[in-house]
Structure 1
């Protein structure tokens, strides 16, 4: 059902459509793409990395939070999404990317105070639920985290929307003696819990997220962990010595097998962790609503700073060096090299292709910046005896080539123009044991910015790392 943005939504369906399409489209698209990349077992880390790398802000936030002590206690520095997936694992990356895209979509709210309270509750409950899942040795604590984070999605989406009707509910709650559900029903005709159920189905979030929203009183232990995360937050609001907190401690102690004192200590530690994580995600205002205890005043050290291009290149080259000094995974190596060129040299489109054994075809292996396509739509370039083309010509240049369409128009054959286009570009052949095995292509065709000599040198450094890694791999495996 399409909703006219000039009219105030009236029904539950209209509110669902407004929030799904107009208010939180970034979260909607990112969430679905990430779930698709992870749920398809045929797809690997690169498909997940590709979804993340399409959004530079998400990439920067993910790496920043991923390097925090909470997610990365071993302090292994990660400058590439590819390495982050290796170090942290795909499940943790899913947790992080969904949380990052979630905060990205909701932090520009008009109802600041109420929105920040809802965000604080979501993140705090997620941290408490995740740690409880770890305590009872759950197989996927990250899934519990995400389910708890999105458990009150109807409330969060509503209060973070800029629709004037949310202000009416806010005023009614503040001025009347109605409880939240009664106020929601009086103004909207439905509760925000109903809205959350609709949104979870509309976004096709499925799994534990939807199960915990639709059947909150389920006997399923994982649903109970999600609920307990939120009960802890509610009990803390009532007071650490309140009846609600005592009841909460008893339930969690029985559930986890820990003593009440141990549970109390864990809750306190998790609360402090939640404050720090909120700040890492950029939700500084929301972090103040998690707790007023033990929160240091002053400058927030997590403020984003723009990393210099040369510094980023250096950091990513360090990631690659770390990888090739141990057990080399060639897929991870080339993913990192491609990411280095794409992010470090700021290319619009980057492509790694492998040469077939008969040397007649180049097949796309990994790409960044192109539309995400199915396996049948990958780029394939064939060698032709009768006509030279850009990519096969580049295989003869040991150190790579910087090509201009106006200087060598004959190399931009019909096949090249159809599959790649007619753009200024860098092409670097990849060799193993003095034989070409593939190549890396990159350009700035989307934004049309000029390529420079420094760009060529930077990209060449990454291509050389691919060659070094491949050589070491061959030596170790012969």
Structure 2
């Protein structure tokens, strides 16, 4: 039996232990919802309303499905869809099921952690799923969605493992960083392998006979299963480019699967990779697009996202209106947080304000995934020797660059260790607040356009503070 103290498990030493832990302790909601959706699909009596109700029970899932329903990838008629029921009727039961499962998997796993290994695995899974759906020769909707979900979930054991903050996950990271072969490292640390965990989860979560065939150790029993296996391997290999002996071998196997020439498959796959990046964005995962082939500006580098000028202008107008009416520092700062998060494109944002002593900056507002722990633990002491105190040394809005000796904090893997935007707030010549924004696992340096937009938003907060100070 697995003991669980609410944070991390005891050391797990078998496939069965990992499957039980992931299913019953870490991801029971995901497991149950996937099982329910699969049951609806298998039943001959399932109705549009039943699937719609499963989706509508989750506001985030509903939003994602509707967003995907209006993308060209799923909706080539470009008819606007505004309800889940309409999406099922217009686009099809199987397509909406596919959207629901992909959205569930992404949201359920990503909200738990931002480990680079998880982001890499999600990028690979989405790329493979899109390749499988677009390469599948059949025009049968069920077959298209079947291979999409098959490719997405073929490595669900690895995805589930990296989504959990366990001591063994950190230990496996160290083994892989040291250059140990992945399979051997898994056996050493987990006493099993990711494929074995995947097979266990497929059975435990009742993911159906097709996925069971895809992940089995034996030969695939259908062209569709073979296609899925080969697209998953192609997605992995493509991270190192579209050439090479291993890639040639996989392309030849895919060519046999779908009855086309290897050169044609290569050309189609390159085009499909660009489509996969668009699907990732629609799924709310823009940060993984840089991990897909053809998206990097240079090996290992990610480029900063584009500033949204229209959204920036809209929020700045709201700020101007608020300032012209009755300035309220809380309302202004909330708008600034939203502007930095949405228009500037920073994933995590915080406003810290000085306490009564003036010596400590504490979180007043935070925004973005992964900032929950900041509310209680993110603090900067002015003139002290804390791990994040250097953030308060900036005299104006600028890009913070961590040093090689950047200190680590135990509640956040990235805080103070990745490039960030910082901007001080002043009152009476003293720094009384600080805006901080970073992109967690995405290691790129914010662009000059992002810095300029960030500065505009901070200036509005400063103006509000100045107006309020003048009234007292």
TM bucket (normalised to shorter chain) is: 0.5 to 0.7
CA distance in 1, matches of 2:174, 2:296: 32
Corresponding position of 2:271: 269
Question: Deviation of residue 2 (structure 1)?
Answer: 4.9
Instruction: Give the TM-score taking structure 2 as reference length.
Output: 0.60
Question: Deviation of residue 217 (structure 1)?
Answer: 2.6
Note if contact 1:272-1:294 (Cα within 8 Å) is conserved in structure 2: no
Question: Deviation of residue 120 (structure 1)?
Answer: 0.8
Please show how residues 309-324 of structure 1 align to structure 2 within 5 Å: none
Corresponding position of 1:299: 306
Corresponding position of 1:211: 213
Q: Which moved more, 1:38-47 or 1:98-107?
A: 38-47
Q: Which moved more, 1:138-147 or 1:224-233?
A: 138-147
2:292 alignment partner, one of 290, 293, 296: 290
CA distance in 2, matches of 1:304, 1:181: 46
CA distance in 2, matches of 1:7, 1:259: 49
Corresponding position of 2:83: 80
Please show how residues 430-445 of structure 1 align to structure 2 within 5 Å: none
1:193 alignment partner, one of 178, 192, 195: 195
Gap change, CA 1:68 and 1:139, over 3 Å in 2: closer
Corresponding position of 1:3: 3
CA distance in 2, matches of 1:87, 1:207: 27
1:221 alignment partner, one of 195, 220, 223: 223
Corresponding position of 2:326: none
Corresponding position of 1:105: 108
Question: Deviation of residue 161 (structure 1)?
Answer: 1.0
CA distance in 2, matches of 1:197, 1:304: 45
Question: Deviation of residue 224 (structure 1)?
Answer: 0.1
Question: Deviation of residue 137 (structure 1)?
Answer: 6.3
CA distance in 1, matches of 2:311, 2:32: 24
Question: Deviation of residue 293 (structure 1)?
Answer: 2.9
SS of the aligned residue for 1:266 comes to helix
SS of the aligned residue for 1:140 comes to helix
Note if contact 1:271-1:290 (Cα within 8 Å) is conserved in structure 2: yes
Please show how residues 232-271 of structure 1 align to structure 2 within 5 Å: 232-271=234-273
- Tell me if 1:58 matches 2:58: no
CA distance in 2, matches of 1:110, 1:10: 20
Gap change, CA 1:300 and 1:283, over 3 Å in 2: farther
Note if contact 2:128-2:152 (Cα within 8 Å) is conserved in structure 1: yes
Question: Deviation of residue 288 (structure 1)?
Answer: 1.7
- Tell me if 1:152 matches 2:159: no
Superposed CA offset, 1:118-166 (max 9, x none) = 1111111111111122468685110111011000011110011111210
Note if contact 1:128-1:232 (Cα within 8 Å) is conserved in structure 2: no
Q: Which moved more, 1:15-24 or 1:95-104?
A: 15-24
Show structure 1 runs of 5+ residues with no match. 306-478
2:98 alignment partner, one of 95, 100, 124: 95
Gap change, CA 1:104 and 1:30, over 3 Å in 2: same
SS of the aligned residue for 2:75 comes to coil
2:117 alignment partner, one of 96, 114, 119: 114
CA distance in 1, matches of 2:138, 2:242: 22
Corresponding position of 1:174: 177
Note if contact 1:127-1:229 (Cα within 8 Å) is conserved in structure 2: no
Note if contact 2:95-2:141 (Cα within 8 Å) is conserved in structure 1: no
CA distance in 2, matches of 1:206, 1:298: 38
SS of the aligned residue for 1:165 comes to helix
How many residue pairs get aligned? The number is 303
Note if contact 2:255-2:265 (Cα within 8 Å) is conserved in structure 1: yes
Larger-Rg structure: 1
Instruction: Give the TM-score taking structure 1 as reference length.
Output: 0.60
Question: Deviation of residue 234 (structure 1)?
Answer: 2.7
CA distance in 2, matches of 1:258, 1:272: 21
CA distance in 2, matches of 1:98, 1:7: 27
Superposed CA offset, 1:69-109 (max 9, x none) = 11112111000001000111001011110111111101124
Please show how residues 324-335 of structure 1 align to structure 2 within 5 Å: none
CA distance in 1, matches of 2:141, 2:258: 11
Superposed CA offset, 1:445-471 (max 9, x none) = xxxxxxxxxxxxxxxxxxxxxxxxxxx
Corresponding position of 1:125: 128
Question: Deviation of residue 230 (structure 1)?
Answer: 0.9
Show structure 2 runs of 5+ residues with no match. 298-302, 313-472
